[in-house]
Amino acid sequence: MAKLKLVLYWAASCGGCDIATLAIGDKILKLAEVADILFWPIAMDFKYSDVEKMPDKSIDACLFNGAIRTSENEHIAHLLRAKSKIMIAYGSCSYEGGMPGLANFFNRRSIFDRAYIETQSTDNPKKVYPQPKVQVPEGELEIPEFYDTVKTLAQTVDVDYFVPGCPPEEKTTWLALEALITGKLPPKGTVISHSIKSVCDECPLIKEEKKIKTFYRTHQIIPDPKKCLLEQGLLCYGVATRGGCGALCPQAGMPCTGCYGPVEGVVDQGSHFLSALASIIDCDDPEEIQEIISNIVDPAGTFYRYSLPDSLLRRARIK
Amino acid sequence: MAEFEPKIIAFLCNWCSYAGADLAGTSRIQYAPNVRVIRVMCSGRVAPVFILKALQLGADGVLVLGCHPGDCHYVEGNYKTLRRMALLRKTLSQLGIEDERVHLDWVSASEGVRFASIVNNMTEKIRALGPLRPNHGEEKHG
């Protein structure tokens, strides 16, 4: 049997997803037996021109991590889509926008002002901003254009499968790779994970009645390690997040942050956590309710931590 | 350009507020024609995602009307809405959507006049704010 042809790419991401691919441990040897990796910028020295020379649909599958933030990200997404039979959005950034998607609370101008002018360690008296094209004695230099709004991979090209997680857990990665290796592929559009239910469904912490008078941030309390973190007032996102990770964070005393995306069938993960959270506030008095929610310091950033570009509103309005 | 006419989606509970709106109609009370009414069984049925969807699809504001506190047909649906709307408004303000665009109020079956005045007030507030245009604020689509 001919070996499977794989490529891996990173767009706007931290590199964690590439490391997560290696976290499959000794299964990497099995992968090497059945698959050839033709392009993997973080690990192997290939050029974009090598990919451009490949015939269309000559790659079996592309694991694409990272959001679409620059013209380079967008260009390579289109290129790899054309060359690959199967396009997989791998990890939160590619699937939902992820952490880079939090930039959608701002726009290019405010991000550039912050990064190139205002930061305390920056000395830029002439207010020089990055330019896509610049003339130097040797000729014209070009860098990718920085877009105003971060997009998901599926908002840019046609995507066949999604692998959730920041980064995806080892077993989730293997589930996707195994499907590719064995050719037993799920229906197009499937979010590949061991669960379609919530993180709570697989979390062993003891759950009693959900009624909350005060919300806490993680540094403010030491939670009881046996009890549901949400019931103790921590903003544990498990109720609105797809399982499959094994509820690792809550079992380590850290609230779920929602990285596996929405449960099956849900659009706008953030609004569903918002709804669940607000419903269990144990108070009927409008003023006291305001006081209780004032303990949630950054609701939009908490609810859309990984999914702002994939949410219904996609970005903040900026006047 | 024609004068801006706000589009407002109004979710009305079946038991109180929809009957209140009906009363406004049968009593021939004049009110702004800017609301598009959607009847729901309870204001508690209005998930925040409904409101976001309305704003995404071009509504300039969303009005949610339920039974007065203590009067909910399902005992506590309107209290749940009260909490959700408070948190939703705080979240939306971070997304650049003004508080006035998402309004929760109470209208009983006998309050046709109150229904009309809430609709008129909200229409005028949103007219003053101008159109919402979701995703506005981009310099360029990337």
Assign B3 a pLDDT band (cuts: 50, 70, 90): confident
Instruction: Please write the tens of the pLDDT for every residue from A205-264.
Output: 999 999 999 999 999 999 999 999 999 999 999 999 999 999 999 999 999 999 999 999
Q: How many CA atoms lie within 13 A of A131 on its CB side?
A: 8
Beta strands per DSSP E along chain A: 4-10, 35-39, 59-65, 68-70, 84-90, 133-136, 139-142, 146-151, 161-163
- CA A300 to CA A303: how far, in whole Å? 5
Element (H, E) at B13: strand B8-13
Whether A187 is covered by a domain: the verdict is no
A118 and A214 fall within a common domain: no
Whether A278 maps to a domain, the answer reads: yes
Quick one: pLDDT band at residue B1, thresholds 50, 70, 90? low
Verify whether the Cβ–Cβ distance B94 to A279 is below 8 Å: no
Shortest Cα distance, chain B CAs vs residue A299, angstroms:
6
- Which residues touch B77 (CB under 8 Å, ≥6 apart)? B13, B42, B43, B44, B45, B66
Q: Which of B49, B69, B140 sits opposite A267 (nearest CB)?
A: B49
Distances (CA, A) of B59 to A59, A253, B34: 44, 42, 10
Q: Which residues pair with A38 in a beta bridge?
A: none
Residues of A in contact with B76 (CB under 8 A): 284
Q: Where in chain B are the domains? A: 8-129
In a domain, A189, yes or no: no
Nearest neighbour of B91 by CB, restricted to A150, A289, A303: A303
With 50 as the cut, is the pLDDT of residue A158 above it?
yes
Candidate from A71, A303, A313 with C-beta closest to B56: A313
pLDDT of A319 = 76
| Paired strand residues for A227 | A206
Cβ–Cβ < 8 Å for B27, B73:
no
Of A148, A274, A289, the CB nearest to B48: A274
Interface membership of B95 toward A (CB under 8 Å) = yes
What would the pLDDT profile of B62-98 be if each residue is shown by its tens digit?
Answer: 999 999 999 999 999 999 999 999 999 999 999 999 9
pLDDT digits 0-9 by tens, A296-311: 999 999 999 999 999 9
Element (H, E) at A301: helix A299-303
- Above 90 in pLDDT, residue A200? yes
Same domain, A43 and A119: no
The first and second tokens of residue A118, run together, are 């205002």
Residue B141 has pLDDT above 50, yes or no: no
The Cα of A4 is separated from the nearest Cα of chain B by a number of Å equal to 33
Shortest distance, CA B42 to any CA of chain A (angstroms): 14
Task: Find all residues with CB under 8 Å of A74, minimum gap 6, and list them.
Answer: A68, A147, A156, B142
Q: What is the CATH number of the domain that holds A65?
A: 3.40.50.700
| pLDDT tops 80 at residue A87 | yes
The verdict on A138 and A158 lying in the same domain is no
| Chain B residue nearest residue A291, CA to CA | B86
Q: List CB contacts (< 8 A) between B56 and chain A.
A: 312-313
CB contact A74 to B (< 8 Å): yes
User: Which residues lie across from A36 on neighbouring strands?
Assistant: A5
Number of domains in chain A: 3
CA distance B107 to chain A (A): 17
Q: What are phi and psi of B44, to 5 degrees?
A: -65, -15
The predicted pLDDT at position A2 comes to 83
Domain extent for A175: 4-100+151-182
DSSP string, B55-90: HHTT-SEEEEEEPPTT--TTSSHHHHHHHHHHHHHH
pLDDT at B48 exceeding the cut of 70: yes
End-to-end Cα, chain B, rounded Å: 28
Residues B11, B38: contact at Cβ < 8 Å?
yes
Residues of B in contact with A284 (CB under 8 A): 69, 76, 79, 82
Who among B84, B97, B137 is closest to A278 (CB)? Answer: B84
Q: Mind telling me how many Å the CA of B25 is from chain A's nearest CA?
A: 31
User: Which residues make beta-bridge pairs with A146?
Assistant: A70
Closest chain B residue to A75 measured between Cα atoms? Answer: B142
Query: Strand, helix or coil at A234?
Result: strand
Mean pLDDT, chain A, rounded, equals 95
User: Which of A68, A69, A313 is the mutation pick for testing B, counting most B CBs within 10 A?
Assistant: A313
Q: Is residue A275 part of a domain?
A: yes
Which residues of chain A have a CB within 8 Å of the CB of B92? 300
Distance from CA of A307 to the nearest CA of B (A): 13
Partner residues linked to A151 by β-bridges: A68
Residue indicated by tokens 């990665």: A173
CA A78-A81-A82 angle, 5° bins: 90
Whether residue A114 is found in the same domain as residue A241:
no
Q: Which helix (H) or strand (E) holds B39?
A: strand B35-40
pLDDT of A125-147, one tens digit each? 999 999 999 999 999 999 999 99
Residue type, B97: I
Give the pLDDT score at B142. 39
- Is residue A42 domain-shared with residue A155, that is, in the same domain? yes
Kindly report, residue by residue over A16-74, the tens digit of the pLDDT. 999 999 889 999 899 989 999 999 999 888 899 999 999 999 999 999 999 999 999 99
Judge if A242 and A163 occupy the same domain: no
Q: Is the pLDDT of residue B135 over 70?
A: no
> Could you name the CATH architecture of B8-129?
3-Layer(aba) Sandwich (3.40)
Chain-centre distance for alpha carbon B91: 17
CA distance B81 to B66: 9
Both A287 and A316 in one domain: the answer is: yes
A170 and A274 assigned to the same domain: no
Is B52 in the A-facing interface, judged by CB distances under 8 Å? Answer: yes
Q: Label residue A158 exposed, middle or buried (CB < 10 Å: 0-12, 13-18, 19+).
A: exposed
Phi and psi at residue A122, in whole multiples of 5°? -100, 135
Contact yes or no for B139 and A150 at CB 8 A: no
SS3 A19: helix
Q: Do both A131 and A280 map to the same domain?
A: no
Do the strands A139-142 and A133-136 form a parallel or antiparallel pair, or are they unpaired?
A: antiparallel
pLDDT of residue B139: 53
In chain A, the percentage of residues whose pLDDT exceeds 70 is 100
Asked if residue A247 and residue A201 are part of one domain, the reply reads yes
Percent of chain A whose pLDDT exceeds 90: 95
- Which neighbouring-strand residues pair with A90? A163
Is A271 within 8 Å of B48 (Cβ atoms)? Answer: yes
**Where do we find the tokens 């190139």?**
A116
